[in-house]
Amino acid sequence: MTTREDLMEGWARAEHLAFMQYCWQKRNVEPFLVGPHTTAFCTAIDVAMRKLKFGLSSYILGMVCFGHGKSEIVSNYLPAHFIGEFPDSEVIVTSHTADKVSEFSSFGQRLIDSTEYDALYPKIGLDERNVSRWSLCEPYFGKVHFAGIDGPITGKRGALIVVDDFVKNRQEAESDTEREKGWTAFTNNIMSRRAAACIVFVLCTPWHKDDISGRIQEKMRQDKSWPQFSIIKYPAKSDKYDTDYLFPAKYNEQWYKDNEMFLGTYGTASLMQCEPKLHEGGMFRTDKIRFYDDIKEVESAVGCSLQMKRAWDLASSTKQTTKDNPDFTVGIKGSVTFKPSSIPNVNFATIIIDDVIRGQWEAPKRDPIIQNAAVADRVQVGMEAFGAYKDAYTTCKGVLSGIVTVEPLQLPGDKKAKADPMTPVFEAGNVWMKRAPWNGSLIDELDNGIGGAHDDQIDALACMFAMFKANIIQIF
């Protein structure tokens, strides 16, 4: 006689959504929640696994807003489900770093050891187990491999290949070099590891129009012989949803709005709406800058006393100081305050720009100006202190010895990546600027953005922002 438990177990083996629900490992911590994207991803997996049993391949590109459980569905639960159904096959799971996939590996091992999984697949057990590979016990030959996107997968042959979040952060996303490196790894290393019949599941929150997800879609448009991926895309907000937002069972409306505010238009388009845009025009909304005459106006608005710091960007290299229109040495004094949002560990920033010192000076004239500013300010000074900036930092530290401390900074990426964290602050209208003769040149430079005739003030402002941002935990 077929029992209800038998039916549930059969359903769990046949359908991925039911498998996750049956084997849900967090039942004592959080409920199993289902959104429209959950159902769509799981349905695509079911279809692909049924096709594979007939020797047919499937290619899936899944895109969804961050924090909505895509890795849970595919990278945590699918390898164990797949290897239960195809115990003589190989699986390859990749992500942006080996550390990330090691989390998937550890979770999967615990899942296979669980009583729930044993009830579904009592003959499946692990012989070899470590963070980079599992091997099934006899009589099966199945293996599951875990590696970073450019990690060691040579010699493997995946009947299931998962590529989960190939970009680590905004710095990587904005780097032409890193995007090309990722695409080369995907096309040369990963796609060449496919079994004769396979499932390739690329899932991501897209960061850039030219990242792997963008290039896959462009290749499909240009070349009909390129594997035709089924595209599943669920933005955070859409009028097609009953409540306008994708996953109200998990996140309330304020969570989505706070993230939109925090990310700004550029970040929201990619990380929330899954429609990355290219930067157009100025990066900074200077029309939303608020001006003040007395710092007490700002302190009253932000609700706290302000601590000032000054960051310097020195035109110190031969290239910077000898070109026809030499770069400027810039010192920006200001403050940054942070207000908690509805998102744990994420804070809204307000930038205050209180003073700008700027000039095209050689070192003999420049150093006394920096020194006099420090004597007048009596605030902490910061500047970049790695690579080409190291000598300038050492010089500045010597000039200010005995006057103020100099904080060494190391901002990630190129100029644009350094400035990007400030763009949502400008867009939110959370930038205050003291009325002063230097306003015009700073606003002109902000309007022109990175790559204008001069962007030294933007560099200095990014350094000042980083001096306050260093101890703030963020999720992006």
Q: What residue ranges define each of the domains in the chain, with the CATH number in brackets? A: 4-272 (3.40.50), 286-469 (3.30.420.240)
Report pLDDT for 229.
Answer: 95
Report pLDDT for 476.
Answer: 33
Query: pLDDT (tens digit, 9 = 90+) per residue, 386-407?
Result: 776 788 888 888 889 889 988 8
Q: What is d(CA 5, CA 3) in angstroms, rounded to the nearest whole number?
A: 5
Instruction: Measure the CA angle with vertex 380, ends 356 and 298; round to 5°.
Output: 55
Report pLDDT for 284.
Answer: 85
Report pLDDT for 317.
Answer: 44
Q: Is the dihedral of CA 372, 377, 378, 384 positive or negative?
A: negative
Q: What is d(CA 17, CA 245) in angstroms, rounded to the nearest whole number?
A: 22
Beta bridge partners of 329: 359
Residue pair 69/115 in contact (Cβ under 8 Å)? The answer is: no
In total, the chain counts a number of residues equal to 476
Q: Helices 16-23 & 36-52, crossing angle to 10 degrees?
A: 110
Tell me which residues of the chain have a pLDDT lower than 50. 317-324, 471-476
> What proportions of the chain, in percent to the nearest 5, are helix, strand and coil?
45, 20, 35
Q: What is the DSSP string of 245-302?
A: BS-TTTS-HHHHHHHHHHHHHHHIIIIITS------S-SS-GGG-EEESSHHHHHHHH
Q: What is d(CA 271, CA 260) in angstroms, rounded to the nearest whole number?
A: 10
Integer angstrom CA distances of residue 353 from 291, 442, 443 = 9, 10, 12
Token output for 398 = 């010597």
Residue pair 111/27 in contact (Cβ under 8 Å)? The answer is: no
Token output for 139 = 């009589």
Q: What is the enclosing helix (H) or strand (E) of 19?
A: helix 16-23
Q: What is the DSSP string of 119-157?
A: HH-TT--EEEE-SSEEEEPTT---EEEEEETTSS-TT--
Q: What is d(CA 382, CA 407) in angstroms, rounded to the nearest whole number?
A: 4
Integer angstrom CA distances of residue 230 from 56, 60, 77, 141 = 14, 5, 20, 30
CA atoms within 13 A on the CB side of 469: 22
Tell the burial category of 104 from Cβ atoms under 10 Å away from its Cβ (0-12, 13-18, 19+).
Answer: buried
Q: What is d(CA 405, CA 397) in angstroms, rounded to the nearest whole number?
A: 8
Q: Which of 420, 417, 466 is nearest to 312 (CA)?
A: 466
Query: pLDDT (tens digit, 9 = 90+) per residue, 185-212?
Result: 999 889 999 999 999 999 999 998 889 9
- Helix count and strand count (H, E) for the chain: 19, 15
Q: What is d(CA 284, CA 263) in angstroms, rounded to the nearest whole number?
A: 13
Q: What is d(CA 240, CA 233) in angstroms, rounded to the nearest whole number?
A: 13
